[in-house]
Amino acid sequence: MNEIQKEDLYQIQVRLFRLAQLNWNISAAKCSELFKKYNIYDYIETCYEIYHTQGDEASFQDIEKYLENLGCKK
């Protein structure tokens, strides 16, 4: 991954974190806890090729499905 892609990945992660926080109505600390516990940052990196071409809402829906499949209760 080149520097431009790394910066883009970081921006995607930040936007999706904020979207999760708002949609789940949780604090930044709780959201951070969930992202770390379920390796969401790594998941976003794995999905980078898809996520950087689609909108944040679609990416967020995918993350919610990912968490649901892991049995996560927000």
Cβ-based neighbours of 10, under 8 Å, separated by 6 or more: none
User: What is this structure's pTM?
Assistant: 0.92
Three-class SS of 1-62: CCHHHHHHHHHHHHHHHHHHHHHHCCCHHHHHHHHHHCCHHHHHHHCHHHHCCCCHHHHHHH
Average pLDDT score over residue span 50-72? 95
pLDDT tens string 6-51 = 999 999 999 999 999 999 999 999 999 999 999 999 999 999 999 9
